[in-house]
Amino acid sequence: VIQLPKNYRCPPEIVAVANRLIEHNRSRDPAREPLTPTRAAKDGEVIQLCSHLNDQEEAAWVAEHIAARGPNAKSCVVLARAGRLLDGVAQALRKVGLTPYLAKKRNDLDTPPVRVVIQALRLAATRADREILRQLCVAWSRLTEETLELEEVVALATTAGDDYLRGWSDAVAQRLEERPDWPELNHIEDLHRQIRDRLVDGFDPATLITGFWASAEGVWAARFGADLRDELEIWKDLAVAPPSPRTLSAYLQAMDLTPKVTPRPPGSDSLLHSSWRQGPRV
**pLDDT tens digits, one per residue of 90-127:** 999 999 998 888 877 777 899 999 999 999 999 999 99
- What whole-number distance in Å separates Cα of residue 85 and Cα of residue 100? 14
Cβ contact 243:206 at 8 Å: yes
What's the pLDDT band for 239 if we cut at 50, 70, 90? low
Instruction: Report residue 217: phi and psi, to 5°.
Output: -65, -45
pLDDT at 170 over 90: yes
Q: Determine phi and psi for 61, rounding to 5 degrees.
A: -65, -45
Rounded Cα distance between 14 and 12, Å, is 5
Q: Taking the complete model, does pTM exceed 0.85, yes or no? A: no
CB atoms under 10 Å from CB of 57, counted, come to 13
- List all residues 6 or more positions away from 214 whose beta carbon is below 8 Å from its beta carbon: none
pLDDT at residue 226 greater than cutoff 90: no
Mean pLDDT for the stretch of residues 36-56: 86
Report the SS3 class of residue 131: helix
Name the average pLDDT for the chain: 87
Name the 3-class secondary structure at 178.
helix
pLDDT-wise least confident of 18-27, 63-72, 147-156, 245-254 = 18-27
